[in-house]
């Protein structure tokens, strides 16, 4: 992978380690300290929820974990790799092969089928059409939407669209799934359905999950809730996650 080597150290080894991570935007009077010295470990197989008021730093931290942004200072290690030392191409490879993303807005291509949306990440890996379709169908089946593979997003409910988005995130076999307000555009019943599925993926497949949410009932599905305030971690609470 162009000099990028990620090591699986097992469930007891940190998949993610942040040390003294800061993120500063702007200069002078317009300076914003989005992150002000974050120390965090996420173990293999963890399910962690980030909570906090708007502007507290939780989404910025998620962007750092997803290699969508780099720290201004500090260390970010992913499975033994110092991410801050990677170049642009290597960070893109890390995202492509090891990370999966689920967003509040689904981010599906509107004129393409569910199957085509799910197989999109595999195109960048150079897989054959046959292999892409097979893996995309397996991912859709895992989220219970194989029967809707030919439907476009406009023909699906919000909950179904989010399931397609989750299938797209899973099709590459990520080690870390990053979810930004995954139930924010859903009603409470559809939100519970999505979270039950996400929890099952964590429990049965051992996928490490970090999720941003404003909703305490959604955060309750996680094993640990990390509260952000003013760019710092205010508390980290291990809870009794829903089974």
| Six-digit token string for 139 | 């991912």
Q: State yes or no: pLDDT of 240 exceeds 80.
A: no
Greater confidence (32 vs 228) lies with: 228
How far apart are the C-alpha atoms of 205 and 200, rounded to whole Å? 8
Q: Give the pLDDT of residue 199.
A: 95
Report whether pLDDT(243) > 60: no
Question: Strands across the sheet with 32-43, in order?
Answer: 32-43, 14-25, 73-78, 81-82
CA angle centred on 5, ends 89 and 87, rounded to 5°: 25
Digit-coded pLDDT (tens) for 165-213: 999 999 999 999 999 999 988 899 999 999 999 999 999 999 999 999 9
For 77, the token pair is: 């290690």
- How many Å separate Cα 126 from the centre of its chain? 23
Q: Which domains does the chain have, with CATH numbers?
A: 45-67+88-238 (3.40.50.300)
pTM, two decimal places: 0.89
Higher pLDDT, 153 or 31: 153
- Per residue in 6-39, pLDDT (tens digit) is 655 555 679 999 999 999 998 887 888 999 999 9
Instruction: Note every long-range contact of 121-128, with CB atoms under 8 Å and residues 24 or more positions apart, other chains counting.
Output: 121/96, 121/168, 121/171, 121/172, 122/171, 122/172, 124/96, 125/96, 125/97, 125/172
């Amino acid at each position: 992978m162009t000099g990028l080597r990620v090591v699986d150290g097992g469930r007891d080894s940190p998949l993610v380690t942040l040390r003294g991570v800061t993120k500063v935007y702007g200069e002078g009077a317009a300076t914003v300290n989005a992150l002000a010295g974050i120390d965090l470990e996420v173990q293999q197989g963890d399910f962690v929820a980030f909570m906090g008021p708007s502007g507290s730093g939780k989404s910025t931290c998620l962007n750092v974990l997803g290699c969508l942004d780099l720290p201004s200072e500090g260390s970010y290690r992913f499975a033994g790799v110092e991410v801050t030392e990677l170049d642009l191409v290597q960070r893109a490879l890390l995202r492509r092969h090891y990370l999966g993303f689920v967003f509040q807005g689904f981010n599906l291509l509107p004129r393409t089928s569910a199957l085509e949306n799910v197989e999109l990440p595999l195109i960048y890996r150079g897989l054959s059409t046959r292999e892409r379709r097979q893996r995309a169908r397996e991912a859709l089946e895992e989220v219970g939407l194989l029967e809707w593979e030919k439907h476009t997003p406009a023909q699906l409910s919000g909950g179904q669209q989010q399931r397609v988005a989750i299938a797209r995130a899973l099709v590459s076999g990520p080690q870390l799934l990053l979810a930004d307000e995954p139930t924010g555009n859903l009603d409470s019943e559809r939100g519970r359905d999505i979270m039950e599925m996400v929890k099952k993926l964590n429990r049965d497949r051992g996928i490490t999950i970090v999720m941003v949410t404003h909703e305490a009932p959604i955060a309750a599905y996680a094993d640990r809730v990390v509260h952000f305030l003013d760019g710092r971690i205010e508390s980290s609470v291990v809870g009794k996650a829903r089974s």
